[in-house]
A = this chain, B = another copy of it.
Amino acid sequence: MMDVPGFRASVEIMEPLFKIAKQNRIFQDVVNQIEDAILDGRLEEGERLPPERELKEMMGTSRSTLREALRILEYKGLIEVRLGMGGGCVVKSVSTEQMSASLDLLIRSQKVTLNHLAEFREQAEGAVVELAAERRTARDIRELEGLLEEAGKCVERGDPAADEFIRTDQKLHLAVARMSRNPVYVSVLRTIHDNIGHYFERFLVMKQKEMRENYRDMQDIVRAVSHGETQHAGRAARMHVRRFNTYMNRFKEPAQLKKSEEQTP
């Protein structure tokens, strides 16, 4: 009834994120209980929940209600449900899958275009490479050089290795993201990669010429990161991503058409 003055009022202007009511819904309570248990560490990754028929007794609900809760937990990525004997609900480690999925929804609802993603990615990769240049360890440098070598071999092998080349390129980007020591970047960039990949990779066909260009960018980035040349590394990364984006744009239209036109003669 009474308002608590100035208490979390400032949250409300942004999103109605925290639902006040609806606690009447039992499955929501079940979700919260299990979620808390997982996040508090009372349930550890890999641990199995009791079978539904036991769990429903423990929580004093019906199986239907329990199952609605399990569906939500599954979709949240907190548990994995396996079928058959020896199956059941296994606690998963929280991952970035859900962020990818939500971003995917935004894209599919046409609130976000791939150019938006590309623009965002350009500066995010720039920033992440700058951080990596500051924080990289000797081990990191070795890893980058290994990936570079892998990419180099692909370039030599030419067009047939184009697919592997793109994979290696993305591995390098994610490796650099990890070197920023900031998991937010890793999650966000992985999400972006997932979504760009989801919509484009089928159409991307890289020729040796493009591979060579991209390879030079990679060399440049790795060198700058290794030497701790922050500014240079950032510029190089932004340039690299921009090159990829313009390249991607050449393939964009077919991807945004309907499926019927995917295989134009």
> Given A64-B64, A105-B98, A183-B111, are A190 and B10 also a contact pair (CB < 8 Å)?
no
Structural contact, A100 and B10, CB atoms closer than 8 A: no
Chain B residues within an 8 Å CB radius of A171: 13
Structural contact, A8 and B105, CB atoms closer than 8 A: no
Which residue of the partner chain B has the closest CB to A36?
B108
Report the minimal beta-carbon distance from A49 to chain B, rounded to whole angstroms.
17
> A164 vs B201: C-alpha distance in the bound complex, in angstroms?
47
Q: Is A247 an interface residue (CB 8 A)?
A: no
Chain B residues within an 8 Å CB radius of A1: none
Structural contact, B96 and A106, CB atoms closer than 8 A: yes
Q: How large is the interface on A (under 10, 10 to 19, 20 to 34, 35 or more residues)?
A: 35 or more
**Per-residue 0/1 for A111-127: is the Cβ within 8 Å of any B Cβ (1 yes, 0 no)?**
11000110110011001
Chain B residues within an 8 Å CB radius of A7: 202
Q: Is A3 an interface residue (CB 8 A)?
A: no
Structural contact, B67 and A163, CB atoms closer than 8 A: no
Structural contact, A17 and B198, CB atoms closer than 8 A: yes
Q: Is A256 an interface residue (CB 8 A)?
A: no
Q: Is A239 an interface residue (CB 8 A)?
A: no
Structural contact, A14 and B190, CB atoms closer than 8 A: yes
Contact of A10 among B71, B93, B124, B163 (CB under 8 A): B163
A6-B163, A13-B167, A99-B102 known; 6 other A-B pairs, CB under 8 Å?
A8-B202, A15-B194, A17-B194, A68-B68, A93-B109, A99-B103
Interface set of A (CB-CB < 8 Å, partner B) = 6-11, 13-15, 17-18, 27, 38-39, 64, 67-68, 71-72, 75-78, 93-103, 105-106, 108-109, 111-112, 116-117, 119-120, 123-124, 127, 131, 163, 166-167, 170-171, 174, 182-185, 187-188, 190, 193-194, 197-198, 201-202
Contacts A/B (CB < 8 Å), 12 sampled: A10-B163, A10-B201, A15-B97, A76-B102, A94-B106, A98-B102, A101-B102, A103-B187, A120-B182, A120-B188, A123-B127, A188-B188
